[in-house]
Chains A and B, each alone.
Chain A
Amino acid sequence: MTYFPEEVLEHVFDFLSSHRDRNAVSQVCKSWFRVERWSRHRVFIGNCYAISPERVIARFPRVRALTLKGKPHFADFSLVPHDWGGFVYPWIVAMAKSYPDLEELRLKRMVVSDESLELLSRSFPNFQSLVLVSCEGFSTDGLASIAANCRVLRELDLQENEVEDRRGHWLGCFPDSCTSLVSLNFACLKGEVNLGALERLVARCPNLRSLRLNRAVPLEALHKILTRAPQLVDIGIGSYVHESNSEAYVKLCNAVLNCKSVQSLSGFLEVAPCCLPAFYPICLNLTSLNLSYAPGIQGNELINLIRHCRKLQRLWILDYIGDKGLEVVASTCKELQELRVFPYDPYGGGNATVTEEGLVAISMGCPKLHSLLYFCRQMTNAALINVAKNCPNFTRFRLCILDPTKPDHVTLQPLDEGFGAIVQSCKGLRRLSLSGLLTDQVFLYIGMYAERLEMLSIAFAGESDKGMLYVLNGCKNLRKLEIRDSPFGDIALLTNVGKYETMRSLWMSSCDVTLGGCKALAKKMPRLNVEIINEKDQMMENSHDDGEKVEKMFVYRTLCGPRRDAPDFVWTL
């Protein structure tokens, strides 16, 4: 072992950006552990209850950027009750005392109060970047604190949050001295915005690269904004409603022509059709297009827009694009890497949607495709086998057939073979979501072939405990497993308990695990929190017997023991 001075080690470690690499070097020896911990500036915590803020601070004293995730993924689908947890406040309190240099905070599925935002804005003089994804609990008052107090703010990125809009003038709270903004995304806000303040803000921030507006920003304001910020790289359109041939539209066309750097386009939150040609000049350079919130853009208009986007790498779209539309995508977007097709009308029956044919067309036309989210009404094994052959590079494959137990619509067989082909062919697959009629066989394939799989989502699938065990025993890199409405019970839960300490979390709802099984798990594995979530009956500790099936269970490894902020309906065994 050669001995380097610690400064040299630190310099070398600076080149390590991945958390896993840093985790690895910290385990080499004590001195490397010490150097690494003092030089780690970015920390990622995938489950905010796996560790306490105090312990993070003790291990890593000089953190400048923190990412925290709270609620389990199925909270997105209303499966987790509202006040389950995931509060960021204690983290901000702790960091306020110990991380004076904090610059970045990124939160996902956490509860963020206005109080937290206020404290955040006052505690870190160098704070630059706040990214909130799928969070809730705050209002525009909290945003006003951030705007007013964070002197060197560069990024305020709000993605798909539930924000109480108090219609205050939070945008006006950015002081005149704030000229540092690089990225501003408030598309998820529902209320009115002070347009004058917005325009002035844009005008005085020459480094602004990314701007995503909400639906309250009308077309007339858009052209003024684009004129002030022709350097924008990423634009989210708010409202796009106007009369064609209006003066505002003509001005917009000119403003768009000036925006030569745009690579990413999204929004169109309100659209009056027929005036998209204004954006054709931008389309040639677009690498990312998100029209999944723009149901007003349909039919030929949509197709014509896409025909101009030859360099597209990422496309998010609604399913009324249809198979024909996907064929146009396949023939136009040869650089496509990520495709998401969302359902426009999930409960309506049979309007134009996409089928297996569209997916096959995409797989044939877009060889670089590696990330897919696809909602459809029908699928076949043959199609999936075809897709697996055409696109062996999938890292993320999420297929959702709207009717949860629908078989191959041609052969009426389960879709085991189709998904089996996917996992066998795509050796780099890290994330997989299954749907349709599935037996234990698909899990046998997954356990056998999906070596790199990290996250698996299962719904209405499988026949017996064997299914879940194939996965637990087979997938070496599994980190997150979430299962709903599948016949896996205590045997599946308890046969390989050691596995759960190698994983971040396990979610099981409407399965066959019993209270007794969960208790046994908790007893065997003290470093797991086994949470039973039972909204209906809060006195469960006394009135339930062990044979009763558990409605919702969330298991995760933790160094902190049962959390102290659990609400009444959460029982940690």
Chain B
Amino acid sequence: MTSLGLEITELRLGLPGGCPPKEKNEKKREFSEIAEDENSSNSGGDRKTQTKTQIVGWPPVCSYRKKNNVHEKETAKNYVKVSMDGAPFLRKIDLNTHKGYPDLAAAFEKLFGCFGIGGVWKDSDSSEYIPIYEDKDGDWMLVGDTPWEMFTESCKRLRIMKRSEAKDVGLQSRGSQGNLQALVSEEKRVELKI
């Protein structure tokens, strides 16, 4: 669905102004490489690995058409809200325009200037922010555990959470999902549903 530009009217608790823009340096590259490695080991994240073995040039659909149909599947729009702790208003992104987690991290950085956010998947302290998402069951999950496509299908909304808040809940490994629910539900958040 196209955004109606009404995010600015959403109310959130938090200080006005976003986090200050950070400069990109090599650390980002490090993250991308690692996230890519992790993605390629997840068979679902990589569009090229399929469960069936494919024959080159079969079925005989011309390559122009093949590329277009793949593109089409991806551009069935999938807009989700993205909130970041401390930002005065939410954003919306179309998950289908991103090819994987590194791409998504880059989008976050562009939207909110939260440098190094992908590093959380490396369990590093490269960012003070952690991306989480609400899935179809209403649970809050850490972004990055599942293959990309599984994620895009089940993600309803995204939140970029401050690491300092998560530390209280002991976010040491990916296993500690349960604590996230408690954390998020305890927070008082006022949102204007459109």
Q: Which residues of A contact B (CB under 8 A)?
A: 74, 76-79, 134, 160-162, 188, 241-243, 269-270, 272, 292-296, 342-347, 349, 375, 400, 402, 404, 433, 457, 459, 484-485
Inter-chain contacts of A134 with B (CB < 8 A): 62, 64
Bound together, the chains give a CA A134 to CA B61 distance in angstroms of 13
- The reply to whether B58 and A77 form a contact with Cβ atoms under 8 Å apart is yes
- The reply to whether A404 and B58 form a contact with Cβ atoms under 8 Å apart is yes
Can you name 19 A-B pairs with beta carbons within 8 Å? A76-B64, A77-B56, A77-B57, A160-B62, A160-B64, A160-B65, A241-B77, A270-B72, A292-B65, A293-B65, A293-B68, A295-B69, A295-B72, A342-B61, A344-B69, A347-B50, A375-B59, A375-B61, A484-B57
Bound together, the chains give a CA A160 to CA B69 distance in angstroms of 13
Bound together, the chains give a CA A347 to CA B73 distance in angstroms of 13
The contact of B59 among A74, A243, A272, A402, by CB within 8 Å, is: A402
- The reply to whether A76 and B62 form a contact with Cβ atoms under 8 Å apart is yes
Contact (A76, B60) CB under 8 Å given A241-B2, A293-B72, A296-B72? yes
Q: Judge whether B54 is part of the interface by a CB distance below 8 angstroms.
A: yes
The contact of A342 among B2, B50, B65, B73, by CB within 8 Å, is: B65
- Give, as a whole number of angstroms, the nearest-CB distance from A545 to chain B: 25
Within 8 A of A (CB), among B12-53: 50, 52
Bound together, the chains give a CA A433 to CA B61 distance in angstroms of 13
Q: A76-B62, A160-B64, A346-B59 are in contact. List 16 more A-B contacts (CB 8 A).
A: A76-B64, A77-B56, A77-B58, A77-B63, A134-B64, A270-B72, A270-B75, A293-B65, A293-B72, A294-B72, A343-B59, A346-B66, A375-B59, A404-B58, A459-B60, A485-B55
Number of interface residues of B (CB under 8 A): 23
- The reply to whether A76 and B72 form a contact with Cβ atoms under 8 Å apart is no
Please, which residue of chain B has its CB at the minimum distance from the CB of A292?
B65
- Give, as a whole number of angstroms, the nearest-CB distance from B64 to chain A: 4
Chain B at the A interface: SS class: loop
The contact of B56 among A79, A162, A188, by CB within 8 Å, is: A79
Please, which residue of chain A has its CB at the minimum distance from the CB of B58?
A404
Q: Which residues of B contact A (CB under 8 A)?
A: 2, 50, 52, 54-66, 68-69, 72-73, 75-77
The contact of A295 among B2, B60, B73, B77, by CB within 8 Å, is: B73
Inter-chain contacts of B52 with A (CB < 8 A): 347, 349
The contact of A76 among B56, B58, B63, B76, by CB within 8 Å, is: B63
Inter-chain contacts of B73 with A (CB < 8 A): 295
- The reply to whether B61 and A188 form a contact with Cβ atoms under 8 Å apart is no
- Give, as a whole number of angstroms, the nearest-CB distance from A484 to chain B: 7
Contact (A77, B65) CB under 8 Å given A293-B72, A347-B54? no
Bound together, the chains give a CA A294 to CA B68 distance in angstroms of 10
